[in-house]
Structure 1
Amino acid sequence: MTHNIAILGASGYTGAELVRLIAGHSSMKITALGANSKAGQTMAEVFPHLRHLDLPALVTIDEIDFSGIDLCFCALPHKTSQEVIAALPPDLKVVDLSADFRLRDPAAYKKWYGNDHAALAQQEEAVYGLTEFYREEIASARLVAGTGCNAATGQFALRPLIAAGVIDLDEIIMDLKCAVSGAGRSLKENLLHAELSEGYHAYSVGGTHRHLGEFDQEFSKVAGRPVQVQFTPHLVPANRGILATCYVKGDAQAILDTLEKAYEAEPFIKVLPLGEAPSTRHIRGSNFCHIGVVRDRIEGRALVIAALDNLTKGSSGQALQNANLMLDIEETEGLMMAPLFP
């Protein structure tokens, strides 16, 4: 059976990544591509690397007939996404890649994103899209909220450890490096080559990054009590990838054993041998996440390091993984490609 797919926001990085992944999918066909700012153009004009594919032209969202669509990916900016999704047919399956439905508490959404939520009914039904931990709920969901790419990386590293109680919940520090594609495709002065290359810098410092809302929500839920982590993201002059180095208090071997047990049956999460650290160059362009555990020189402390591709496992690959579940397709379909190297 072939499922008809629509992608809204197809002219952005995550939209293009969805097209790349679905092109190798045996049970999905892209029948509509929405991109208001690029409407009337072809995908070959917007993304020449996709010119070999037979794709529909880009149109405005209002021009799309959703009656024959089985599932819609929404890769639009936050605030825009909630308004668009609220107007879609109520029985249409949707995977949202924005931040609009990640936070369950409307007050938390307003705190981190600065505006009142305009689609509260849809927010109530949304399922958080961290596939490995919400698999059953996602399979029966109509609306799935994809995680933030930073939030996914940190959760893969820490969530099983918090649940098992093998680390001190009050002493978690996360230092995260993120590639520039995580900032989106729109033109920004600070992302110009001359402004960004040959250096990197911390941003959203002092606990102001929006993905902290997800960490607070999910870690506290797992622990059964409030958990707050120290988190500083850094922008690095690379196209793809996230590397999260988490400093924790706990026994390294117990941490490794916990991660190995948690992920032993997971096709996309690979736990490395003790002492081995992952690299973004080893997961680039793939849906894999590599996690390493290293003993610190200070007794009773350890480093947990996770690497994933922000556009794939951190966003569009995760979205396709969730869509497979929602459409009763093998979860790994279209996602087992090997990483690109070098």
Structure 2
Amino acid sequence: MRFVFRGIGLAFNRNLLPLFIILMPVITSGCLGGTFVTGPAVSVPATVNSGYYNMTYNWSYGGDWTTTIDVPESLYDFYKGQPHDRQDDYAQYALSDYDRTSMKNLVDTFCDSGDRCGFTEYDDVMSVVSFVQALPYTSDEVTTGYDEYPRYPVETLVDNGGDCEDTAILAAALLNEMGYGVVLLELPNHMAIGVKCSDDYPGYCVEYHGAKYYYLETTGDSWKIGQMPDEYEGQNVNVYPLIQLPQMDMDFNATYEDLDSVYVYYRVHCNITNIGVGTARNVSAYFAALAPSQGEDRVWDPDRTIALGDVAEGGTGWAEASLRIPKNESSQIECALYGDNFEPVVMKTKTFST
């Protein structure tokens, strides 16, 4: 009996480089005097220069700020090619491992400017949200041709705006990277974010797992933490916590290999891909030939478990094993993936006779 397996390889483009960011603060008396006001931001449409999208944004909070970012075309193209049908959990758009460096670099610009101006935590949050609130509102149908097209943060930055779900996802990604408690809030035909605050903070909030998250708009400008537009008061709210959810995808095949006087041998091969967000931990592939004639949940000896280790977001790999089944028996071959932080995947062949 023999089996072979291959280590996990990343389906990752070496050219997926982080955003390069230049912060050019223009300090006004609003910052120096400690009176913080919000104002509209202006972003310049993307231009492509030597494989990068060059973006410039201007926004106001405690002063006027300008940030220039260069986004590699390869990083933008990577996200354009990712699934855009995660409407069962919008938070996954905000949590991709591949743009964590990009989000951190952008967050550093807000933190540095806040330190220079003596911002409080409230001001840090509002500075980020003021930046996001002022991005142009664009509908999915007009910009993509789809009724619903949730964008990853890098897409929203390069596309120079988006609708409510896109700006909420971007704001959540930035605030999460800064270490603030944040959730996505889905209302009928609308999305915003919730920011974790103390129990005595004024304004509209939702309770989730014993904590209070205060409503914050990411479209329009001048909305503050706890303020909710009148049309959404009293509406049902779905809460999406920012928790990475890896998702394993698998295909497998079983082919006749050999026989002897007692057994028929089959080679089983599976290909795996982590199509979710975040690293799948302690992945194992399990192979077995079911033995219904021996009782429920019985398998022909030996079954095989192959430890594949961690599988990064977008990671791929494969595993193989040989199984034997006695002659003149009915069976199904089962292949399964198990791990610490994702839903198991179980597949079986049709019933066949040896």
Tell me if both proteins adopt one fold, taking TM over 0.5 as the criterion: no
Higher share of residues assigned helix: 1
TM-score (norm 1): 0.29
TM-score (norm 2): 0.28
Structure showing greater Rg: 2
Higher share of residues assigned strand: 2
